[in-house]
Amino acid sequence: MPAKNQTIGEFIIENQSSFAYTSGELSRLINSIRLAAKVVNHEVNKAGLVDITGAIGGVNVQGEEQQKLDVYANERFIETLTNREIVCGIASEENDDFITIEGQNCDHKNKYVVLIDPLDGSSNIDVNVSVGTIFSIYRRVTPVGTPVTKEDFLQPGNKQVAAGYIVYGTSTMLVYTTGDGVNGFTLNPAIGTYYLSHPNMKFPETGKIYSINEGNYNHFPQGVKDYIKYCQAEEGDRPYTARYIGSLVSDVHRNMIKGGIYIYPKSSKSSNGKLRLLYECNPMAFIVEQAGGKASDGFTRILDIKPTELHQRVPFFCGSKKMVEKAEEFMENASKK
């Protein structure tokens, strides 16, 4: 068990042997994400003091109105990863296409690509509610020395070598996995250093929280409606408690600590759901599984889905294992009727 007073830098060095590849490149990549997160955190904490909240006037590739901080966070993460020349490509939820990294010392020799949701839940900024960043890291599949292609990004989630999220809340935390468990680090803002605060994070096997936007109840598939009624029934340890923040990072983070399930299903309004497979569901599913939980689209393991496009959407069920299995049971039963 690592010491809780370890800095994230010390932890990365000490645990480098647990990485699938130990060239040091992955360690430097995680360090770069940590640095960009500190810059974004500083800006997020100024909300209400300077003109950084609200819409910027444009829309992203998803057709969603961009917030000023969406654009700021996207620029900072891309800038930091590009300037350090440690990745060969970046794909962002905010950009139409992936970015090929080229530089004087690059020559397409780097091995990793990063996929990122720079500011998840950004519409909550205006009302001082937690938001986050989600990232996913893969080894490229095209030959080193050549420019990256879409094939490097359209890999199933089970090929991830690392994934994580940063939650900007009452404290700022960076939570990540390299396939050897999940650890959380809290930022000490006085000195700008992340310290290990939540070693070996685990989902309780079951819980009493369900997180779903029940305002869309009438548009949900029957299996989801049946599961919601199950959660609300007064029987055994139920009814469960409904908790929904509207920020994937914040909802999943809470459920990992307290036990619960998060659901964003398909609906009559969104035939494939709203969440993006590559930027949100895959990285969160990797973290959830590494923490002993489960993640699926209601029927199929998220990490086994083969992506077909950069901005593909999928339904998403994740959290405490027994709760997800129960929800899948309702989905399966409804599909047979």
Contact 187, 9 (CB under 8 A): no
SS3 of 164-198: EEEEECCCEEEEEECCCCEEEEEEECCCCEEEEEE
Q: Which two tokens stand for residue 124?
A: 């909550």
Q: What is the pTM of this model?
A: 0.92
Tell me the binding residues.
93, 117, 119-123, 213, 244, 274, 280
Please state, in angstroms and rounded to a whole number, the distance separating the CA atoms of residues 178 and 35.
18
| 116 CB-side CA count, 13 A | 29
Q: 3-state DSSP call for residue 153?
A: helix
Binding annotation for Mg(2+) = 93, 117, 119-120, 280
How many angstroms separate the CA atoms of 317 and 264, rounded?
Answer: 7
Domain architecture of the chain: domains with CATH = 8-198 (3.30.540.10), 209-335 (3.40.190.80)
Summarize pLDDT for 173-226 with one digit per residue, the tens.
Answer: 999 999 999 999 999 988 989 999 999 999 999 999 999 999 999 999 999 999
For the annotated binding site for substrate, the residues are 120-123, 213, 244, 274
CA angle 223, 326, 279 (to 5 degrees): 75
Residue 141's Cα: distance from chain center in Å?
A: 22
- The Cα 98–Cα 142 span in angstroms is 15
Residue 77's H or E segment, with its range, is: helix 68-83
User: In a structure prediction context, what are the per-residue pLDDT tens digits for the chain, which is 337 residues long?
Assistant: 556 689 998 888 888 776 656 567 778 888 889 988 888 888 777 655 444 444 554 555 555 556 678 888 899 999 998 887 789 999 999 999 999 987 655 567 888 999 999 998 877 767 777 889 999 999 999 998 899 999 999 999 999 999 999 999 888 999 999 999 999 999 998 898 999 999 999 999 999 999 999 999 999 999 999 999 999 999 999 999 999 999 999 999 999 999 999 999 999 999 999 999 999 999 999 999 999 999 999 999 999 999 999 999 999 999 999 999 999 999 999 998 8
